Amino acid sequence: MTRMEQVVRVGLPASTNDTTWAAEHIEIKDSIATIDRTSWNQLCKPHQFCSHEYMAALEASGLECQYLYALAISNGELVGAAVATLWRIHLPYGMSLRVTTLGTPVNTGLPLMLAVTANSISLRYGLVAALERASIKRGVRLFVGRDFPTADYLHKQALDKLYSCAHLELPWTDFEQYLEQHPKRKSIRRDLRSLEKAGYCLDIREGQALSTDEAQRLHALWLQLYRKHHSPDQIMVTEDFFLQMSQLDHAVWLLLRKEGRIDAFDLCFVLGDHLESTYCGVDLEATSRLSIHRAMGYHIVRHAIGKGLRSINFGISNEQGKVEMGCRLQACYAWMQANPKWLGRLLRMILHRFVLKHDQDKLAQENLTVEDQR
């Protein structure tokens, strides 16, 4: 065990619903490279983003954060695991807040993995609590266990509703069938034709590495949206992030090109029979007269249906536009703990005032923009 690893003995709460289970110990590690790939991937469900390969690529991307991995070991076997990230949320007036969030700053979804035979309520609470304690020892001021699917996911722990994720189910056999049932099909066709009339074509790349020039261009396009929205809870990504992601077999790139130049993109991942839309970027000036975000969203739908996938996770924000696409909104819940505890009320207020309220304001502005484009 290295200096950066820690073994935490935990007393897990008893459950009246599940078979009694007790972990020998929960280990905290700081790199996926120290964890056996086969054991990790056996726990990782097909719809979860945090495969061993993905986390290795993410670690190699050079983001300004640190990673924590909680491993539950029973009888020498890995029976549970979870991922968390230490990073800084930048606030107005030059302030910043050092936080740990369950998962990563570049993904939504619950990165909590449990063996089928484990006591799920006790084990999932034990993994999250171990990550919180490890964060405190590293001087983190706020721990946010997030993306829990239900308000009672951690049994008796009080959870707050954090945001909603937009999911689109795909029962259609082809894109035309999707359009035929859509009340705004004429407007969708018009948006897609407008890209063609403007000289754009869509280049879809699957499991194919980007060139250095392409990665630089995508990073520049992503930066335009990053600087436009100034989201406090969005981490700065790097050119290496795009290069590393493109090395993954399940990465899908939708590149909108005009005369060879990329003016917009979407990065998606195939997770089992599910597509996750993760990042996008756009040349705001070159595409200013086009309904670019809406059109690219429908290109994602077309691609997913064509591949026979069953659903798309469109993530958070711009809920109105995603509901119009046919998405259902699934609430995600969070468990927040301050260090020290008496800071809890203040940090919650700061989070809601500068981060969550900012996201709602950005959502309202995005919706206004969509209305203006119609």
pLDDT in tens, the chain (374 residues): 443 344 444 434 433 343 344 556 899 999 999 999 999 999 999 999 999 999 999 999 999 999 999 999 998 999 999 999 999 887 766 777 889 999 999 999 999 999 876 577 889 999 999 999 999 999 998 999 999 999 999 987 889 898 999 999 999 999 999 999 999 999 999 999 999 999 999 999 998 999 999 999 999 999 999 999 877 778 999 999 999 999 999 999 999 999 999 999 999 999 999 999 999 999 999 999 999 999 999 999 999 999 999 999 999 888 898 999 999 999 999 998 887 665 656 666 666 554 555 444 444 444 433 333 32
Backbone angles phi, psi at 89, to 5 degrees: -95, 125
Does 187 map to a domain? yes
Q: What pLDDT sits at residue 29? A: 98
Q: What pLDDT sits at residue 317? A: 81
Q: With contact defined as beta carbons under 8 Å apart, do 73 and 323 qualify?
A: no
* Residues constituting the chain: 374
Do 135 and 182 fall into the same domain?
Answer: no
What's the CA gap between 248 and 255, in Å, rounded?
A: 17
Do 116 and 15 fall into the same domain?
Answer: yes
Q: Looking at residue 272, which CATH number applies to its domain?
A: 3.40.630.30
Do 111 and 210 fall into the same domain?
Answer: no
Do 69 and 140 fall into the same domain?
Answer: yes
Q: How far is CA 47 from CA 3, 69, 165, 220, 274, in A?
A: 33, 19, 14, 30, 7
Does 323 map to a domain? no
Tokens of residue 135, six digits: 């964060």
Q: What pLDDT sits at residue 92? A: 67
Do 29 and 155 fall into the same domain?
Answer: yes
Q: How many domains does the chain have?
A: 2
Helix boundaries (H) for 138-184: 175-181
Do 275 and 249 fall into the same domain?
Answer: yes
Structural domain boundaries, residue 128: 6-162+332-364
Helix boundaries (H) for the chain: 37-43, 52-59, 120-137, 175-181, 185-197, 212-229, 239-246, 292-306, 319-325, 344-350, 357-373
Q: With contact defined as beta carbons under 8 Å apart, do 350 and 336 qualify?
A: no
Does 315 map to a domain? no
What's the CA gap between 89 and 62, in Å, rounded?
A: 17
Q: What pLDDT sits at residue 230? A: 75
Do 338 and 237 fall into the same domain?
Answer: no
Does 314 map to a domain? no
Do 136 and 71 fall into the same domain?
Answer: yes
**Could you give the 3-state DSSP secondary structure of residue 350?**
helix
What's the CA gap between 356 and 362, in Å, rounded?
A: 10
Does 43 map to a domain? yes
**Cα angle, residue 324 at apex, residues 323 and 328 outer, rounded to 5°:** 25
Do 27 and 130 fall into the same domain?
Answer: yes
Tokens of residue 236, six digits: 């700065």
Does 194 map to a domain? yes
Do 105 and 176 fall into the same domain?
Answer: no
